[in-house]
Structure 1
Amino acid sequence: MRDQQAALTRKDDERRISTKEAAELLGVKPETVYAYVSRGRLSSRSTPGGRGSTFDHAEVEALARRNRRDAEGSSSTVGGLPVRTRITLIDRDQGRYYFRGVDATELAARHSYEEVAEWLWTGVLRPGAAFTAPAASVEVARRAVDSLPEHTGPTDRLRVAAIAAATADPLRFDLSEEAVLGTARTLIPTLVAALPPKWHGGADDGPLAHRLWARLSGREASEASLRALDTALALLVDHDLAASTLAVRVAASARAHAYAAVSAGLGVLEGPLHGAASGLAHRMLLDVLDHGTAAPVVAAELRAGRRVPGLGHRLYQGEDPRARALFALLEEIPDAAPALAAARDVVATAARDVPLHANVDLALAVLTVSSGMHASAGETVFAVARTAGWIAHTLEEYGEAPLRMRPSGHYVGERPPQPLPEQ
């Protein structure tokens, strides 16, 4: 009997491979293999002495096959149709992303959010571009937002503002490029103006980041803080076919007007795995600052079976380039030092178990925590920023055949004909 068990054990060991071998089979770096383990996509077993891990060869091969299938049927197609885009390219190997072929982080570092939005929409840079909201649009949007319950979240406020602004625009059904661009340049500042102010020293004119700051923080902003917010908006303006952007393109495929397409994006954005993710990172950083160390906070997240907020991104094996750019600006803000140190403590602590890198949600949380903003502020920044990207994708989809975003379901239910159900 013991010989039988020993033989089975040896056979099992023969089916197990090292981290390096698993990485080669999957075509990824070793740290990505550990990331798969942390996300429950792969199981591991510690080697004697605990200095490494082994993996089941068959399980790794199955994951490699799934990854290949996902890559073949990824966001580049919907229902077998290619989603062609000239807007954003994400280079996973280099850990960079581009807006119309231009490095997005460099563009955001040198140009305002409004200028980056114009580049995304038209491929033409408009120095000094400014967005102005019509008084009638702002009035109806504010009235609608002010009627909401006090506890209403930011994305709900923005969605209601977008719908209200649509009702004030009799030309919303004009889907020509010129008309949609006009909508974009007025809708974004209308969304910001409709939000209740936190600081009454702000104005309703000037750069959009300045106007948004007054809706997010009760503190007077420094130039460095305003620059960080403006850059965050520009960095977040688009990120290829994220879930909300795909929803926008589906709406645009059905020829919904731009306000409705943006509303579709806002509906998806509210999920905790998308635009609301920075709020989780914000609360985590506050906990770290209260404890004075990240160790118990990270441990609590892992013990609860949750991912550590603000770490890892499915499109980047290394650090999210948006996080890297924003962290560099936050280092220039003295008030951000404690939250920045807390974020780095989180990354270092989590790396002892699984080597994941910071993503933009963690960097955004550092900005919101250090600026005295509410945990939901990052969600607002994300939504306002991404509205420009949604408009760009809306315009692009209007140039495609209508209703092409209509995949057929793969039916797996009972085969007909079935008898009528009994009452």
Structure 2
Amino acid sequence: MADQEAAQDAGGKRLSTREAADRLGVKPETVYAYVSRGQLTSRREPGSRGSTFDMKEVDALARRTGRRESSASGDELAVRTGITLIDRDHCYFRGVDTSELAAHYSYEEVAEWLWTGELRPGIHFTAPQDALSAARRAAQALPAHSGPMDRLRVAVIAAAAADPLRFDLSEATVIETARSLIPTLVDALPSQAPKQCAANALAPRLWSRLTAEPADAAALRVLDAALVLLIDHDLAASTCAVRVAASARAHPYAIVSAGFGALDGVLHGAASGLAHRMLLEVLDCGSAATVIADHLRAGRRVPGLGHRLYGGEDPRARALFKLLEDVPQARPALEAARQVITTTARHTDLHANVDLALAVLTVSTGMPTEAGETIFAISRTAGWIAHALEEYAERPLRIRPSGQYHGPRPPQPLP
């Protein structure tokens, strides 16, 4: 027995066929197909009825093929990524707590670090004139009632048309595209301030496009922190869309367009708008109880509360609430949010999420209902590019789920 254990330690941990299949996200018969092709080595242990496989070899094959692992719950699929980890009510970018990143670095600095692995203090992104002119013309051509998200969607398409090298998917070119696309999107939005903001940093430029109110240092700090905290959040719906598009080798502008498409929904990017409206109602009524009662009576969930990835409070909300305490004009909205949390806590164990914290910022600074989604979209563009860079390094078209057909069995008569 000791000799067998020593042999196993020398050769690495062995997996059964079922364990290898689960690790690769395939059926057991596919594991044997890998063996027949020489991609895996099987070994039958003395006295064993089945084959075993070296765990390191299986993991290496999983990385090469891009196969997706089954999740612990067994009803979802997971894609290997080195960008974001969510663990025990904390969120980390490449192993660093996002709240710490937001406390010490600007949005551009964190985005650059995510893409390149290098921190460049004081870096600012600049929009190229050709792309910016095209994006502004496209955004200005929309009807007057169009919102900022409408303008962002057409701006990214116009910027793509102005870039003849958009199909170059080399890492350096994709990163350079990201550095120019994000400020193009921001600067393509019409200014709301009486005077055009001349700042180099992204946060004050975005501020002037979301509200006519002057920005003080504390409020700008909240906006910049929100941009950092929202860069990525594991494989959210929009990020899944981005990875599928990148797997098909779509260019970076198309990647962002795919993300915008999936973002457009009350269960994702637009969720902060619902929280914004709710806080306005609470401020108008002077009490959260009536507003919460109306939501519950109508069978609607209370916006800004609960997140499937956190058992407690969303760490992004916690970081923003702390910063909002230093913004004097945010105190009424912040108190309204706290009333929502405490009132709802009497009936259900739900904690604040980042949408509620975003709503406090947008309500207290005179921003429109869609402002939270706009902040989300600009911020998440950096994360989508990081995921695209990761996916471009994988085997093309690896993300190809198989459908489970439930229609009538053929042959069927011609309709």
TM-score by length of 2: 0.82
Runs of 4+ with deviation above 3 angstroms: none
Q: How many pairs does the alignment contain?
A: 346
Contact 1:253–1:398 (Cα < 8 Å) also in 2: yes
Counterpart of 1:172 in structure 2: which amino acid?
Answer: R
* Structure 2 residue aligned with 1:393: 387
* Structure 1 residue aligned with 2:12: none
**Which is further off, 204-213 or 163-172?**
204-213
Q: In the alignment, is residue 84 of structure 1 matched against residue 86 of structure 2? A: no
* Structure 2 residue aligned with 1:110: 104
Contact 1:201–1:220 (Cα < 8 Å) also in 2: no
Counterpart of 2:86 in structure 1: which amino acid?
Answer: I
Q: Name the CA distance, whole Å, in 1 between partners of 2:255 and 2:198.
A: 25
Q: In the alignment, is residue 228 of structure 1 matched against residue 230 of structure 2? A: no
* Structure 1 residue aligned with 2:410: 416
Q: Name the CA distance, whole Å, in 2 between partners of 1:204 and 1:243.
A: 35
* Structure 2 residue aligned with 1:182: 176
Contact 1:118–1:124 (Cα < 8 Å) also in 2: yes
Residue 69 (structure 1) shift: 7.5
Q: Name the CA distance, whole Å, in 2 between partners of 1:319 and 1:162.
A: 34
Percent sequence identity is: 69
* Structure 1 residue aligned with 2:130: 136
Residue 204 (structure 1) shift: 4.8
* Structure 1 residue aligned with 2:164: 170
* Structure 1 residue aligned with 2:76: 74
* Structure 1 residue aligned with 2:54: none
Q: Name the CA distance, whole Å, in 1 between partners of 2:314 and 2:144.
A: 35
Residue 270 (structure 1) shift: 1.0
Question: Structure 1 residues 69 and 97 mapped into 2: Cα distance closer, same or farther (>3 Å)?
Answer: closer
Q: Name the CA distance, whole Å, in 2 between partners of 1:155 and 1:245.
A: 17
* Structure 1 residue aligned with 2:17: none
Contact 1:288–1:294 (Cα < 8 Å) also in 2: yes
Helix, strand or coil: the match of 1:98? strand
* Structure 2 residue aligned with 1:247: 241
Counterpart of 1:348 in structure 2: which amino acid?
Answer: T
Q: Name the CA distance, whole Å, in 2 between partners of 1:286 and 1:364.
A: 13
Contact 1:100–1:123 (Cα < 8 Å) also in 2: no
Q: Name the CA distance, whole Å, in 1 between partners of 2:222 and 2:250.
A: 34
Which of 270, 274, 294 aligns to 2:288? It is: 294
The 5 Å alignment of 1:53-68 reads none
Q: In the alignment, is residue 363 of structure 1 matched against residue 365 of structure 2? A: no
Residue 206 (structure 1) shift: 1.2
Q: Name the CA distance, whole Å, in 1 between partners of 2:196 and 2:367.
A: 15
Contact 1:209–1:230 (Cα < 8 Å) also in 2: yes
Contact 2:71–2:77 (Cα < 8 Å) also in 1: no
TM-score by length of 1: 0.80
Helix, strand or coil: the match of 2:312? coil
Deviations 1:133-152 (A, max 9, x none): 01111111000000011222
Counterpart of 1:72 in structure 2: which amino acid?
Answer: G
Deviations 1:347-381 (A, max 9, x none): 11111111210000000000000001101100100
Q: Name the CA distance, whole Å, in 2 between partners of 1:202 and 1:335.
A: 23
Helix, strand or coil: the match of 2:376? helix
* Structure 1 residue aligned with 2:23: none
Helix, strand or coil: the match of 2:209? helix
Deviations 1:287-329 (A, max 9, x none): 0000000001001111111100000000000000000000000
Which of 97, 118, 127 aligns to 1:124? It is: 118
Q: Name the CA distance, whole Å, in 2 between partners of 1:400 and 1:73.
A: 24
Deviations 1:198-257 (A, max 9, x none): 113342541100100000010110000001000000000100100000000100110000
Q: Name the CA distance, whole Å, in 2 between partners of 1:276 and 1:371.
A: 18
What is the RMSD of the two structures over their aligned residues, measured on CA atoms?
1.2
Which of 76, 94, 103 aligns to 1:100? It is: 94
Q: Name the CA distance, whole Å, in 1 between partners of 2:163 and 2:260.
A: 19
Residue 70 (structure 1) shift: 7.4
Q: In the alignment, is residue 284 of structure 1 matched against residue 286 of structure 2? A: no
**Which is further off, 238-247 or 198-207?**
198-207
Which of 336, 339, 343 aligns to 1:345? It is: 339
Which of 299, 313, 321 aligns to 2:315? It is: 321
* Structure 1 residue aligned with 2:153: 159
Q: Name the CA distance, whole Å, in 2 between partners of 1:204 and 1:393.
A: 31
Q: Name the CA distance, whole Å, in 2 between partners of 1:196 and 1:170.
A: 26
* Structure 2 residue aligned with 1:33: none
Contact 2:305–2:352 (Cα < 8 Å) also in 1: yes
Q: Name the CA distance, whole Å, in 1 between partners of 2:103 and 2:243.
A: 28
Q: Name the CA distance, whole Å, in 2 between partners of 1:204 and 1:381.
A: 19
Which of 115, 130, 143 aligns to 1:149? It is: 143
Contact 1:238–1:386 (Cα < 8 Å) also in 2: yes
* Structure 2 residue aligned with 1:257: 251
* Structure 2 residue aligned with 1:199: 193
* Structure 2 residue aligned with 1:80: none
Q: Name the CA distance, whole Å, in 1 between partners of 2:199 and 2:193.
A: 15
Counterpart of 2:76 in structure 1: which amino acid?
Answer: S
Residue 73 (structure 1) shift: 3.9
Question: Structure 1 residues 196 and 314 mapped into 2: Cα distance closer, same or farther (>3 Å)?
Answer: same
Contact 1:202–1:210 (Cα < 8 Å) also in 2: no
Helix, strand or coil: the match of 1:97? strand
Q: Name the CA distance, whole Å, in 2 between partners of 1:388 and 1:69.
A: 26
Q: Name the CA distance, whole Å, in 2 between partners of 1:141 and 1:204.
A: 19
Helix, strand or coil: the match of 2:281? helix
Q: Name the CA distance, whole Å, in 2 between partners of 1:70 and 1:299.
A: 37
